[in-house]
Amino acid sequence: MTEGRDRVAVGPSVAHAGPAPGVLIGNEAVKVFANLHPGSPVLDVVERSLSISYEIYLGPTGRSFLTESFAGLRDVLARGGDLEAFFAGRRAAFAGAGLQKSVRYKLSSLRRTLRLIGERELAGVVVDVGANDNSLGRLLADGGYGVQRTIGVDIRPASPPVDDGGGKVSFVLQQDERELPLPSASADVVIMRYCLHHMTFDVQLDILAEAKRVLRPGGRLVIVEDTVSRVEIPYASNTVHDELLALDDTAVATALACLDASSCLVEEESMPFPFSFRSFEEWRHVLADTGMPTTRTQYWGLPFFSLYQAPLGIFEARRPQRDR
């Protein structure tokens, strides 16, 4: 069993964020900062990571913005100020400095994801779970891949949801956070990108079981997740990753949540809450327990692939030709 092994949740115990009553969504995510002390080593590691990525992607002005933001954040925490108002002010400052993220940035991130998960192996019907804007589906449809159809599934649609009327790109609204609204054995590939940590641990297990049900025998499951390993040698080894792993497990999970929620500095987010993280090793155990042991895993560590990248793990598993 995997319960209790190398896993930490950050935030209140609520269901997977969605339209259900009582579920937190949106900038509620910034509350992960609320209980931190201004001198917390978590803030130090998160600021160090973000200052590097902001300079890489936005230049010196971006790094200055980030430094100013964390100085302000520490001040708000010290005096018990309004975090929501603080983040709203930083978004206005971000826009005022002309630092808006470009469409090119988003596109390059999606293309990188396709390379990491093995784009040449994508074929048939591809389901992207947690894809309210169908951005990956649109890229697959336009890219000349061997994909017949892409289906985005999410508990909250984009406005409006991207759907070409039943052709190569479609969207299906998920009414129940524990169920995928798709027929059994109807997909060749199921992709889950950065969505599982926005579900509670029990919902994660239900959704993985649903992915197995939806996949055809021999079908491929691909997971891209924020995770850490104290065992694997990361592809991207650096001092920031070492500083992160010097924290205890609870602080590491809080740092991962802060990295994710830091996107609220630059854009109005609709981010599910809580954050439920598992270690790289535990994800392997979880997939084995679903009857889909991993066939390929990669631990990238902290590669600075994007503006607020957390340590990255990739997991591939397949539904057996015959279930036991």
303: containing domain: 103-242+273-318
Q: Classify residue 5: in a domain, yes or no.
A: no
User: Rounded CA gap, 16 and 182, in Å?
Assistant: 19
pLDDT at 8 over 80: no
User: Considering the domain boundaries, does residue 113 fall inside one?
Assistant: yes
Q: Is the dihedral of CA 46, 132, 292, 4 positive or negative?
A: positive
User: 11 Cβ partners below 8 Å, 6+ apart?
Assistant: 24, 31, 32, 257, 273, 274, 275
Is 45 within a domain? Answer: no
Taking each helix axis from N to C end, the angle separating 135-142 and 103-117, rounded to the nearest 10 degrees, works out to 70
Query: What percent of the chain lies above the pLDDT cut of 70?
Result: 85
Residue 7 lies in a domain: no
pTM strictly above 0.95: no
Q: Tell me if 221 sits within 8 A of 318, measured CB to CB.
A: yes
Domain assignment of residue 168, yes or no = yes
The two structure tokens encoding residue 281 = 């090793």
| Torsion angle of C-alpha atoms 5, 227, 91, 18, degrees rounded to 10 | -60
Q: Is the pLDDT of residue 156 over 60?
A: yes
The reply to whether 248 falls in a domain is no
**Which of 9-23, 163-177, 194-208, 282-296 is least confident?**
9-23
Q: How many domains does the chain have?
A: 1
Domain presence at residue 177? yes
* Cβ pair 284, 295 in contact under 8 A: no
Q: What is the CATH number of the domain that holds 300?
A: 3.40.50.150
Q: Which of 85-94, 118-127, 189-198 has the lowest mean pLDDT?
A: 118-127
Give the separation between CA 190 and CA 194, rounded to whole angstroms: 13
